[in-house]
Structure 1
Amino acid sequence: MSVPRPGDRYPEVISRSIEDRDAFWLDAAESVSWETRPTRTIDERSASEWRWFPDGRLNVCYNALDRHVEAGRGAEAALIYDSAMTGTRASISYEQLRDHVARFAGVLHDAGVVAGDRVLIYLPMTPEAVIAMLACARIGAIHSVVFGGFAANELAVRIADAKPRVIVTSSGGLEPNRVVEYLPLVQRALEIAGGPESGVETVIVRDRDAVPGSAADYADEQGIAWRDWAELEDRATPADPVPVRSEDPLYILYTSGTTGSPKGVVRDSGGYAVGLGWAMRNIYDFGPGDTIFTASDVGWVVGHSFIVYGPLLAGGTTVLYEGKPVGTPDPGAFWRILSSYGAKMLSTAPTALRAIRREDPELVELAKYDLSSLRAVYLAGERMDPETWHWINDGLGVPVVDHWWQTETGWMICANPLGIETLPSKAGSTSVPMPGFDVRIVDSKGEDITAPGVEGNIAIRLPLAPGALLGIWGSEQRFVDSYLSAFPGYYATGDAGHYDEDGYLFVMGRTDDVINVAGHRLSTGSLEEVLTQHPAVAECAVIGVHDELKGQRAAGFVTLKHGEEVVREELAAELVRMVREHIGPVAAFRDVTIVERLPKTRSGKILRKTMRQIVDGEEYRVPATIEDPTVIDALIEALGDTVSAPPTQAVSVPR
């Protein structure tokens, strides 16, 4: 398949990135301030090992903060903190943020942290999380952010794997209608990890007025020093940036869904700075004077790349939001933030928009706010169903881009590059590949079958773009086994999909979500597209359940829009009819379960595998990343009300 050519400027850019790779990325590296400027683009050491800008040295924190201050922009806003939980709103300038970070870097230095040491960060969505991350980068330490509120067992396995010298935490986090105390969880995690044998020497605690608990409550338990953040900061000497090699790790980030054996993605420093810098300019069209609201958490890759590092490397303003899309206090929360701070970009997950659509399908709350500054909405984390895409696209009147990337890649594999040109949007598509990501469709044997309309495994030719993972922490072989062995010469994304005739990629779901009905392979994404077209359905998930005759059959789980009242049997009949009209009877679709909520991770991914295991009566383990464990109990209860239409039924019930 030739290079996609959907526009005017994009083909020129993507062609140059392929045909003159070295010059392309050395030019991109000019946007970064280097201690030692690289003269080489990439060192391909083996089929499974490569390093970007191998002779370069830099400091990522310096690039995110100091250079903007030195350029005379120190008074401009770097970070805006907006907490729907406490009502706090604060703007922190580049100079102020640099000073906070330098002082806390001094705290870490005083605690014995040196370049290459690991620091585990377990904090809520407060400015301290950003400060701690950047402070680690400032002295060359490797941070590992763990989503605040993770269970003690899950925190323990990450401690055991990363072996941090210091843990930075808070007295706790705030959720709607509840307080989550972190310190008992940290204490228990340290016990599980072996106390001093874990390698942890110090726990630094930031007190929070709204949450009980402090470092003093734990004294020096287990031979580990528990210290108060504010007290240490008062006597610390600010630390200067420490240059590191481009290939030196910036952070370890554990992929969502890991359980007993964590998989820590290792991100480099130089490649990440270059890749993110390119993405902010060319994909987001973002730079100094611009504001971005990324509705995510710093515990996820979206938070790392597009709350913290990306916007600050680009010299813009980033919004850190502590709250939810609905319920804090209403479904207009996102619109309030965009309006209040004049944000140019919104980056969020499709599940957040579906939550808003469920509560406010007519976008009544949107009318209360001035969103004239908004230029685009970018989505990631879960496939965007076309119905919700049309709803938000029509409602906001700006480009809505369902771009696609992964924890492992660090930034976008496919997107609509608004900084190059605004390509036509297509509902259900993640748009087109970005430089550095040679995206191919391969069959089960790894043969390249890339052609319009041909569905298969989505794989990326090696090496991956600057900023993608270097490996898995502590296990080179696990990196190969997890990503590189399925299709030699390629990185296996774990997703299935196809290109259309214009070179747009359609990611139809995880390969695990492809179901086999009597020998016919069906994408659950295609089935979900059909169900979301029903006017009563807010959100849905389709899974393949065991069938004695066909091997598998499709089963649907749907949530309803706010205020919708339906007769279950009528809704089931309508959905069955719709699937048969659009997909055909081969789907063997007849089971419909109405649920209050779908089980999801905190990053918005629906737990389809867990749902399938429950329905099929298999043993299952609820992932630590689940947003609300009580949803599983409600799902099991709802299964008793599943409506099963007769296999031959194909009726239309008037509404």
Structure 2
Amino acid sequence: MSEPTSDGAVTAYESIHDASLRDPEAFWRTAAEGIDWVTPPSRILDDSRAPFYRWYPDAELNVCFNAVDRHVAAGRGEQAAIHYDSPVTGTKSTMTYAVLLERVRAVAGGLRGLGVARGDRVVIYMPMVPEAVIAMLACARIGAIHSVVFGGFAPQELAARIDDAAPKVVLSASCGVEPTRIVPYKPFLDEAIRRSEHQPEHCVVLQREQLVAELGERDLDWGDFESGDAAREGSECVTVAATDPLYILYTSGTTGKPKGIYRDSGGYAVALRWSMANLYDVAPGETMFTASDVGWVVGHSYIVYAPLLTGATTVLYEGKPVGTPDAGAFWRVIAEYGAVCLFTAPTAFRAIKKDDSSASKVAEHDLSRFRALFLAGERLDPDTYEWASAALGKPVVDNWWQTETGWPIACNPKGIGLLPIKAGSPTVPVPGYDVQVLDGAGTPVEPGVEGAICIKLPMPPGTLPTLWGDDDRYVSSYLSAYPGYYLTGDGGYLDEDGYLYVMGRTDDVLNVAGHRLSTGSLEAALAGHEAVAECAVIGVHDELKGQVPRALVVLKSGVDADADGERIRRELVARVRAEVGAVAALHQVDIVAGLPKTRSGKILRKTMRELADGKTPAVPATIEDASVLETLTPVLRGPSA
């Protein structure tokens, strides 16, 4: 179900999108009015060093001031800024903007007391606790550059990030709390520093009662740090250039060395503030619930910065979509805090659907203030879209973007006006993005024809200006394949209405006897079966056809795989033949207990494909549960049909 749409919404979107491409400087000059500047921009875009474009090159601001101070000054001091909800620890608390300001000033003062100054880096290695958000904002307050590393990352991955960012200080916690275990952070941090060439001067450790860490010579207790003399003195906001980095966020690289995506301060603030009103339709004073983690780009943008830049209230949720305690967890949070929208990954909804296929728990909660569900991070298959739409009776809005872009490339712009929803499509390119689908020669293809999804340069504000300390790698990774374009790495097509269809990473395209097939189309056919909770298709090597597809399917709770497995397999093969065609040549369907995923919800198709082909893959450090992959390995290593 979706909200009524009208020709007016289509006209409004087309007008705004056209204006953003026809005169981007005028468009982003107007958008910049949503930010409080120390020195307002007189120049909007510097293209003198293309392809290294810079937005607002002569402007100055402070992002923390825009996210906290200005709302207190405007009378929002007693409004809730953060609702902290932690079912894994049984803890809840609410922090007003006034209290948030007080604590951010203190931590910023503490950092300055440790010698952290404008341009210095601070690594934040923390769980989903309020102190993680406070730490990010405190860095922004003093012009330091934060790099959040997902709490619990393995020591070698943390070490690589410490060496690349060279932080003066690491802010951490004693442990993370999962539904079934306690994850000790301090031993991981100590081992990472032991392996690092760069040695941070200090580590500040938030002691959690679930596991208290032993502190060493370089370590400080967070409680003492936040209440010490430097913290009591506090810190006012340091003015930075709009082009100064706000943060570095690492994403996996094909070479094994993580890529440091860096985000500029001014363009990011403008883009996020604009997106909250125009894409997510969230106003000051309203509550947004983003079920992600501050270690990911979605957490940076839509748990922390965008809601607070807007003067909205954000929910910091330390829990899971199921198991903490059940598949009604998200509905409870929405009802309890009056959230107007939920932003999460399709994987979370597949987990909820698996545990509560009839969506019976929705009715147990008052969702009267809830207006829309936003999904991103993994392709939204039509079946999950239909299930979520029926369960909630609200618009289900797919949006597609990347760590590199920092905010959506394509979505249904709810704040401008919902366009007709097409299942399987994140709808249309967002204003500011000139999205084109190119063939191997760099020529735009006809509507309906698959190719490489690219973005014509310059990209809008908020996207990466380059990689941290590595301009050459930025060019070779993203810009060299199609000069004048940013290569997203995803394949797909635009239809005759301008709707974008993202069919998967370009290395997930199967080549079956010369026919190119996207895993997305095969997975959509499988996901439509009533017994399927989630699925993945990989292409495995075949001597005759080059590649053949192999499906891995997780069944819904209550389906008896032993009794009905063979029937379900036959039906799935028939569905693919009927919906995709005989050329797909799907013959092998493995019913499995779970699929390996990253913590952000992406299914590790490449890792599974390499295992099936007999290779030894480099398992990403971001894997959610390595035991799932261990269980799957003998299945994948087995013979392909």
TM-score tier (shorter): over 0.9
Q: Does 1:470 align with 2:465?
A: yes
Q: 1:114 touches 1:139 (CA, 8 Å); kept in 2?
A: yes
Question: Does residue 633 of structure 2 align to residue 636 of structure 1?
Answer: yes
Deviations 1:486-537 (A, max 9, x none): 1110000000111112111111111011010000000100000000111111
Q: 2:525 is matched with which residue: 520, 525, 530?
A: 530
Secondary structure at the residue paired with 1:346? strand
- Please give the per-residue CA displacement for 1:192-212, whole angstroms capped at 9, x wherever unaligned: 003xxx141000111111112
1:204 is the counterpart of 2:204: yes
Within the candidate set 529, 542, 562, 1:547 is matched to 542
| SS of match in other structure, 1:266 | strand
Pick one of 406, 416, 419 that aligns with 1:420: 416
Aligned partner of 1:350 in structure 2 is 346
CA displacement at 1:287 relative to structure 2: 1.7
Does the CA-based 8 Å contact 2:614-2:637 persist in structure 1?
A: no
SS at match of 2:311: coil
Equivalent runs, 1:118-517 vs 2, <5 Å: 118-194=121-197, 198-213=198-213, 217-220=214-217, 225-235=218-228, 236=231, 237-256=233-252, 260-449=256-445, 451-517=446-512
Structure 2 counterpart of 1:569:
566
Aligned to 1:104: 107
Whichever residue aligns with residue 46 of structure 1, its letter is R
Unaligned runs of 5+ in 1: 645-655
* Cα distance in 1 for residues equivalent to 2:27 and 2:59: 16
User: Which structure 2 residues correspond to residues 591-630 of structure 1 after superposition, within 5 A?
Assistant: 591-630=588-627
1:463-487, Cα deviation, whole Å (9 max, x unpaired):
1110000111111000000100011
CA deviation string 1:185-238 (max 9, x = no partner): 1100000003xxx1410001111111121xxx3321xxxx21111112212221
When normalised by structure 1's length, the TM-score is 0.95
1:446 deviates by 1.4
- After TM superposition, the score normalised by the length of structure 2 is 0.97
Alignment CA distance shift 1:63-1:321 (3 Å) = same
* Contact kept? 1:5, 1:502, Cα under 8 Å: no
AA aligned opposite 1:527: L
Mapped partners of 2:639, 2:304: distance in 1: 44
Counterpart residue type for residue 521 of structure 1: R
CA–CA separation in structure 1 for the residues paired with 2:167 and 2:256: 18
The amino acid across from 1:360 in the alignment is: D
Structure 1 segment 30-41 matched on structure 2, within 5 A: 30-41=33-44
How many angstroms does 1:259 deviate by?
A: 7.5
- Structure 2 distance, partners of 1:90, 1:257, is 38
Residue 592 of structure 1 contacts residue 642 of structure 1 at CA under 8 Å; is this kept in 2?
A: no
Partner of 1:93: 96
Q: Which amino acid aligns with 1:621?
A: A
Q: Which moved more, 1:311-320 or 1:418-427?
A: 418-427
Moved more, 288-297 or 559-568: 559-568
Structure 1 residue identity aligned to 2:484: G
- TM-aligned CA deviation for residue 176 of structure 1: 1.0
Structure 2 distance, partners of 1:483, 1:551, is 28
How many Å apart are 1:622 and its aligned residue? 1.1
Q: Is the 8 A contact 1:287 1:314 kept in 2?
A: yes
Q: Displacement of 1:6 after TM fit? A: 7.3
CA contact (8 A) 2:9 2:416 kept: no
Structure 1 residue 47, shift from structure 2 partner: 2.9
Give CA deviations for 1:311-362 in whole Å, capped at 9, x if unaligned: 0001000000000000001000000000000000100000000000000000
Contact 1:543 1:608 in 2 (8 A): yes
Once the two structures are superposed, residues 618-650 of structure 1 have per-residue CA deviations (whole angstroms, 9 ceiling, x without a partner) of 121211000000011111233478894xxxxxx
- Kept after mapping to 2: 8 A contact 1:594/1:638: no
| Aligned ranges 1:64-83 → 2 under 5 Å | 64-83=67-86
> 1:653 maps to which residue?
none
Q: How big is the shift at 1:591? A: 0.7
SS of match in other structure, 2:566: helix
Task: Give distance in 1, aligned partners of 2:285 and 2:421.
Answer: 26
Task: Please give the alpha-carbon distance, in whole angstroms, between the structure 1 residues aligned to 2:166 and 2:341.
Answer: 37
Task: State the distance in 2 between where 1:64 and 1:159 align.
Answer: 27
Tell me how far 1:283 sits from its aligned partner.
0.5
Corresponding residue for residue 61 of structure 2: 58
Q: CA RMSD in A?
A: 1.4
CA distance in 2, matches of 1:172, 1:257: 27
Q: Distance in 2 between matches of 1:73 and 1:47?
A: 41
**Structure 1 residue matching 2:303: 3-state secondary structure:** helix
Note if contact 1:85-1:176 (Cα within 8 Å) is conserved in structure 2: yes
Offset of residue 568 of structure 1: 2.8
| 1:579 and 2:576 correspond | yes
Question: Relative to 1, partners in 2 of residues 1:5 and 1:616: Cα closer, same or farther, differing over 3 Å?
Answer: farther
* Letter of the structure 1 residue corresponding to residue 462 of structure 2: G
Report if the CA contact (8 A) 1:568-1:643 is conserved: no
Q: Does 1:28 align with 2:31?
A: yes
SS at match of 1:472: coil
Does the 8 Å CA contact 2:321/2:352 hold for their aligned counterparts? yes
Contact 2:88-2:178 within 8 A present in 1 as well? yes
Match in the other structure for 1:45: 48
Check whether the contact 2:611–2:637 (CA below 8 A) recurs between aligned residues. Answer: no
Q: Secondary structure of 1:49's partner?
A: coil
1:83-119, Cα deviation, whole Å (9 max, x unpaired): 0111111110001001100100001000100000000
Task: Give 1:459 shift.
Answer: 0.2
Distance 1:97-1:6 versus aligned 2 partners, 3 A rule: closer
Q: Does the 8 Å CA contact 1:257/1:624 hold for their aligned counterparts?
A: no
Shift of 1:18: 1.4
Across the two proteins, how many residue pairs are aligned to each other?
Answer: 630
CA distance in 1: counterparts of 2:541 and 2:48, whole angstroms: 45
Aligned partners of 2:383 and 2:524 also within 8 Å: yes
Query: Distance in 1 between the 2:216 and 2:535 partners?
Result: 49
Asked if structure 1 preserves the Cα contact closer than 8 Å seen for 2:193 and 2:199, the reply is no
Q: SS state of the match for residue 45, structure 1?
A: coil
SS in 2 for 1:401: strand
Displacement, 1:20?
Answer: 2.1
SS in 1 for 2:400: coil
Instruction: Choose 595-604 or 629-638, whichever is displaced more.
Output: 629-638
Shift of 1:363: 0.6
Deviation at 1:258, TM superposition (A): 7.1
Alpha-carbon offset, residue 256 of structure 1: 4.5
Tell me by how many angstroms 1:5 deviates.
10
- Is contact 1:265-1:469 (8 Å) kept? yes
| 1:260, distance to aligned residue in structure 2 (A) | 3.9
The percentage of counterpart residues that share the same residue type is: 57
Counterpart CA distance in 1 for 2:457 and 2:487 is: 10
